Amino acid sequence: MPTVEFRGERIDCEAGAALRDVLLDAGLSPHNRTSEWVNCRGHATCGTCAVEVRGEVSEMNADERRRLSLPPHSLDSGLRLSCQTEVRGDVRVVKHRGFWGQTVERDERREPTAAER
């Protein structure tokens, strides 16, 4: 049974469960502030449930790829939509700042991208 680690909590879930549902069922939210109430409810259209995920999860599907290719997101951010991401094994989840969770802090050890300069 996979375990999801998020904001200091550890949640056991069924393999194949949507990450957004796992978090919400545990009383945790993949959304920031107002986006908890203003979101698409898991249809991959708003992008407010974007999170950083480390671990074994499903490949990105077409709906997720389409939404993450639109501003303020970008496909190279490394973020995933929790509503479209299926948990396949143990994962660690981080929610970043911003309405969409899009403000990923730049790692000082790597070269900044053109957009960050």
Structural tokens at position 69: 């290719």
Query: Long-range CB contacts (< 8 A, 24+ apart) of 35-40?
Result: 35/99, 35/100, 40/83
Is the pLDDT at 108 greater than 90? The verdict is no
pLDDT value at residue 117: 37
> What percent of the chain lies above the pLDDT cut of 90?
85
- What the chain holds in terms of domains, given with CATH numbers, is 3-98 (3.10.20.30)
